[in-house]
Structure formats: C-alpha cells, structure tokens
Structure 1
Amino acid sequence: MEDMLGRPRTSGFSISVSVLIKYMLREQRLLFVLIGFAVPALVFNVFHVSTSSRIKHVSVAESWQSTELSRIPRRIAYELPEVMNRAGKVPLGLKRKRLRVVVTGGAGFVGSHLVDRLLERGDSVIVVDNFFTGRKENLLHQLKNPRFELIRHDVVEPILLEVDQIYHLACPASPVHYKFNPVKTIKTNVVGTLNMLGLAKRVGARFLLTSTSEVYGDPLQHPQVETYWGNVNPIGVRSCYDEGKRVAETLTMDYHRGLNIEVRIARIFNTYGPRMCLDDGRVVSNFVAQALRKEPLTVYGDGKQTRSFQFVSDLVEGLMRLMEGDHVGPFNLGNPGEFTMLELAQVVQDTIDRNAKIEYRPNTEDDPHMRKPDISKAKKLLGWEPMVSLRDGLPQMVSDFRQRLFGDEKEAI
C-alpha cells in the first residue's frame, strides 16, 4: 500500500519494534537487561540446589532417627532425651561423674550403710524414709554433709526427684515388722515399687530393687539358684512379704521389657551387722540381744533349720557392683556358709556368754527349713563374693548392740 505521495505505507507496529530495537542497542542497554535476567536465575538455582541438598540430608537423618525410635514403644518415645544416659565404664584418665542417688529406706539397717558408702565415694544422696523401721540415729553422722539430704516420705505416695540412680530398699524386712501390718507391707512392695519405677521412667534413672531370698519360700531345691521359681504359700502369714517381693520383681521386669527402663534385681539373703533393730525377730539380732541381756536364746522348732549369714559390708559391696554393672539379674547376694540355728547359738555363746542357755519354742508358720544361696552367677558376672566370716563380723555387731543397750562404750560402730 502507498500513501498519497506514493510512499510505501508502514504499520505502526513495525515502527514501534524498530524504534525499540534501536533503543535497546543504544548505550549497551541490552547487556544490562540480560544481566538483569541472569542474576536472579543464578541466585534461584543456587538456592534450589542448597535446599535440595539440605532436605536430602535431613531426610536421611530423620530416617535414621525414625529407625532408632521405632525400637522404642511409641508411648514413651517423646520422653527420651536427645542423648540417652547409658551407664558405662569411665575411660582411663577421666574422672568419674558424681551421681545423684536416692535410697528409699535409707534410714534402715542396710540402707544407712549403703548411704555411707555412696557418700564416701563422692555421690550426692537423698534418703527417703517414713521411719517405720528406720531410725534417724543411723544417719546422724551425715546430717552436716552438704551432699546428703533426708526426706520423711512414704513411698506408697508418689514423689518427684531429679536423680541418676534409685536404690529401692523401702520395706519392713523382719517378720515382727511385716506381720504387724501385712496390708501396709504388700502396699509398700507393690504400690511403692510402682511409684519408684515411675520415677525412674520420668527422669531416666537406673533402678535397683532389693528383693529377698524369701521369694524362694520353703525351697525344694538346695542350694537355691536364681532360676528356681520357689515354693511360696500365697495365703500364709508371711505372704505379704514373700508374694509382695515376687510382685515387685514382676513389675521391675515389666518396666524393663516394656518401657526400656534400666533395672537391676538383687535377692538378699540373711544379713547382720551394726545398726540392726534390737528386737526385730530375726535370729541373729534376737540371739545377740538375748545373750547381752542374760536371757535364754530362743530356738524355734528343733534348731536344725539352716540359714546363711552375710555381713552388711559384703552386701553393700554387692549392691553397688550390681548397680554399676551391665547385668539385670536377679542375683543372689548372700554368704553360702550354712549354719543351723543351734550352730549359730553356739557362735553367739562363744562370742558373748558361754553360759547362755537355750530355750526351745514351737516353730513359726511357713518358716523355711533350709536357706543357702548359690552365688555362682554373682561371682562370674559381678566379681563379687562375701569376705567377712560370721566369727569375724559378729563381734562388730555385738559391740554396737552393747553400746545401744547399756551405753558402756564410747561409740557405736
């Protein structure tokens, strides 16, 4: 097409494109435009690659974490700390970490000796005791220790403490005491153990249950090994203690298997030593107190029942090795040296009064005829065995009893 002067007619669009091209080529504007597109594209690509790499890394980490947590029941996975506390051996050259330890029943005979050992090695110790059988006098020498705390509390009621280890000793252990209130005894064994296991679960502490040789009842196997299931009367006068401890062991293992709680189980055989209750019905304390008071030694039945007696320091050593070791148990902790009641009476006579008389009385219900531990497992896995003989340990107990009865020595052991 031509205009009125005969020139070719050009569309407005063509003119605009031509002008735009000339404008872009002028003064290197095109270069700046290209740079303007290239820079955002480069930044986007770099960010995208970095993000993809991080997401991939996180995915691998989350996958590993998910695999690890899948081994733990879902109901407790959310409670686990980022790094779980695993007890292990301290490498050479590194100082052992000071632990915060709770001892239930720590004002009692065995508990107070355990507290002394824990404080001696540098740990901080909290004693929880309702003083039913425990005595404050057993701990008076520790009251000024800044690493020692004493709480009057019944473990049948829950308690929350921040600790690394729990030694659960709370329970009356002599027939006189546990028969006095059998319902309270079984509640302590069952509800008290549940509460302390719950504490171990909440704070990630290692838990040690002090069970008893009474779980074997009147045994049909001699000596008793840990695999023996026992011969217990479930409705007898001693069952509040015997069956209570058996249930406590069941609860402990269920928390271990179902909730991954680190637990240890000790089955304690007859133990004696300073700080025992004077009149608790147990044969060693009965004989010693009677001989010191110039009373006849009461022997129940024909006196041919057998028992094995370990000194308290040996037991404490065994408990600590069990807690610090890598094995759940149960472990028999006792002295395999076996004595009849008449032989024990003879040792007491030789130690205190050779002229002490023996008085026979009818045997008590469900009293075991034989009691002797097989400690092969403790020897092999814990490297533990008792070191104090009855004739070496009994004089220390006699000295303590004499001071408490008559006050004729300056200081008790």
Structure 2
Amino acid sequence: MRDARKSPVVSQKVAITGGAGFLGSHIVDYFVEQGEDVVVVDDFSSGEAENLEQSADDVEIRELDLRSEDAIDGLDDIDVVVHLAAKIGGIGYFHHVPADIIAMNDAMNKVVFDAAVEHDFDRVVYASSSMVYERATEFPVTEDQISEIPPPDSAYGFQKLAGEYYCRAYHDQYDVEYSIFRPFNAVGPREPPGEEVGQAHVIPDFVLKILDKEQYPLKILGDGRQVRSFTNVRDIARGVYLCSFEDAAANDHFNLGSEEGVSMRDLARKIWERSGREVDIEFETTEAFAHDVQKRVPSSQKAQEVLGWEPEITLDESLEQYIGWYEEEVL
C-alpha cells in the first residue's frame, strides 16, 4: 500500500478542480507535498488565488469554466482528476439556490466525465458529500447504507448523489475508473464566514458571532441539539490522496470523517471557552432550515480497513487552528 507520507516513485499530472477553494486548496497543498505534478482548475467564481499562496510556485493554474464543453480540451494531458468543483455553501446557501446547484453542478460533472472518456484519465476521484446520508436513521452511517436509505430531500444532497451515479455509469459504459469520497464537515483555515447565517458552515458562523460580533445571547439554528462530526481538512486531504492512487480504492466509495459526534450547543461552548468571553454562554434558538437533519455521524471503518486511513487531528486541535487563522487573517 502506498504510504501517503512519501512521494510516489513516478509523479502523475493531477488536476484538482475547484482547487482554489477552501477544501480544494488544502488538497492542492497536500498533493504538492507528496511530489505530484498538480494542475489547479478553477474559474475563480468563489475560490481565491490567495488560498494557493503556499503552493503557488509548484502548481499550474488553468482558469476554466467547467460548465462549458470547451473545457474538455483544457484537460487533455491529465492523468488523474480530483473533482471538487461545485456550487457549495452552508445549509442556508443550499436553500437559496437549489436550481443553480442542480443545473450547474450537473453541467460540471458531465464535462469532467466526458473529458475522462476523451482523454483516457487513469482515475476520476469524485468529491461527494455527507449530505447523501440526509435521510439515514441508523448511526454511525456506513457506506453500505447508501443503497438502502431514501434519496436526499435537499437539492444539494440529491445532486451529490447523482454525481456518484455519474461515476458508476461512466465506469459501466466507458470503463472510467473512479473513487468516491464523502467528507464529513471539513474544518480548518481559509474558510471565511458568510454574510448571512447558513451561507457558510457552522464553525465559521459561530466564530464570527462569538469572537467578532460578540453576540449575546448566541443565536443558533433550531434547538442546537443537532449532532455532527467534524474532520480536519488535513486529514481529509490525506484520505483523498489515498483515494487517488491506491489500487484498493478503485471503483469504490469511502466515508472520510471523524466518528466523534458533537452537538451544536457543545460545539458553541468549545468556541466560547476559547474566546475569552467573561459571561457564561446563553442560547437564543431560531427557526431551523428545512432538511437540517438532527444527526450525521459516519463510520470510517471501511477507510481504515481498505486504505489505512483514520482521522489524526482532534476537533479541539482543529478549532485552535481555525480560531488562530481567523484572529490573524479575518479580525
């Protein structure tokens, strides 16, 4: 099994779509560290060039609109593509633009998979989402449950599941090799808070309210007892690397997430304790968004057994990293 801490013997040209985004840029950094020849594919509609500063001298940047079939020609020399490019945000964002999510993400998927056929990629590594498990009722969720539970209610979750069908359909018809990873709530530097509640993910939202706005009482969506697991971006990047090159990952799907669940109230308390606020935390509950499921916690057993992957960075360590970055770069 390839050791993700060591460079491969032969470098391959890897395109990372959406590589200027929050998660994408961390994956870019990790692949560069492993000695890969990395091409960042992004239209910079939401990704930021400064996210790539750490690896700027070691990557090629191709500004492509993956909704256009013309982009296929811009991927003619690629060996492996890690496909993250998508319209994405927090739960509030999902509810504001569901039609755009379906249409635009589907268009990007088609271009990437058509390019895989046209240029004979070695593998497509597809970024799915924990949202495909929206309607799960048994926890921790395992990969096998994806064929047993009803499809997601949200447009985003449904579209991500449709992307998984692209993987299998292009494999069945065109013999395109793929690997699917489902990240569970990535956390780390470079993810700014949104302008509105729910536009970004919950940790940036809480940090904005607690450290920046010094909100009191703290407003939370729903009753705050929703449970999620959070996974450091560095751990996810390592898992994506294994999905890209391990023979055992071919034509299979993996949860990449911490098995430790935490309620939103307890998450807020952890951030509050690090903020230096002198008053005890108090909550003000607000109406939750539709499809804000009460629990989402994965089993990572399959990734452990097949890929030798498991999270190494704790939530407390991840919060320290994120808050440190926020205080330095945002405040």
TM-score by length of 1: 0.71
1:98 lines up with 2:17 in the alignment:
no
- C-alpha root-mean-square deviation of aligned residues, in Å? 2.0
Tell me, what secondary structure is at the counterpart of 2:125? strand
- Corresponding position of 2:111: 195
- Corresponding position of 1:385: 310
- Higher RCO structure (Cα 8 Å, ≥6 apart): 2
**CA deviation profile, 1:218-238 (whole Å, cap 9, x unmatched):** 32221111111334454xxx3
**CA deviation profile, 1:148-201 (whole Å, cap 9, x unmatched):** 122222211121221111000011332344444322211233221111111112
**CA deviation profile, 1:353-374 (whole Å, cap 9, x unmatched):** 3435433111111111110001
- Corresponding position of 2:266: 343
**Contact 2:43 2:65 (8 Å CA) reproduced:** yes
- Corresponding position of 1:124: 37
Matching residue within 142, 145, 153 for 1:228:
145
In 1, the alpha carbon distance for the partners of 2:63 and 2:283 equals 40
**CA deviation profile, 1:64-109 (whole Å, cap 9, x unmatched):** xxxxxxxxxxxxxxxxxxxxxxxx969xxx9711111111110111
- Corresponding position of 1:397: 322
1:311 lines up with 2:232 in the alignment:
yes
- Residue 283 of structure 1 aligns with an amino acid whose one-letter code is V
In 2, the alpha carbon distance for the partners of 1:148 and 1:284 equals 29
**Contact 1:266 1:330 (8 Å CA) reproduced:** yes
- Corresponding position of 1:266: 181
- Corresponding position of 1:148: 59
**Contact 1:218 1:366 (8 Å CA) reproduced:** no
User: Where does the alignment leave 5 or more consecutive residues of structure 1 unmatched?
Assistant: 1-87, 407-413
**Contact 1:108 1:133 (8 Å CA) reproduced:** yes
1:353 lines up with 2:269 in the alignment:
no
- Corresponding position of 1:248: 163
Tell me, what secondary structure is at the counterpart of 1:228? helix
TM-score by length of 2: 0.88
Q: Max radius of gyration: which structure? A: 1
1:291 lines up with 2:238 in the alignment:
no
**Contact 1:278 1:401 (8 Å CA) reproduced:** no
More deviation in 247-256 or 288-297?
Answer: 288-297
Matching residue within 306, 310, 332 for 2:255:
332
In 2, the alpha carbon distance for the partners of 1:288 and 1:313 equals 20
- Residue 171 of structure 1 aligns with an amino acid whose one-letter code is A
**Contact 1:291 1:353 (8 Å CA) reproduced:** no
- Residue 97 of structure 2 aligns with an amino acid whose one-letter code is N
In 2, the alpha carbon distance for the partners of 1:186 and 1:319 equals 24
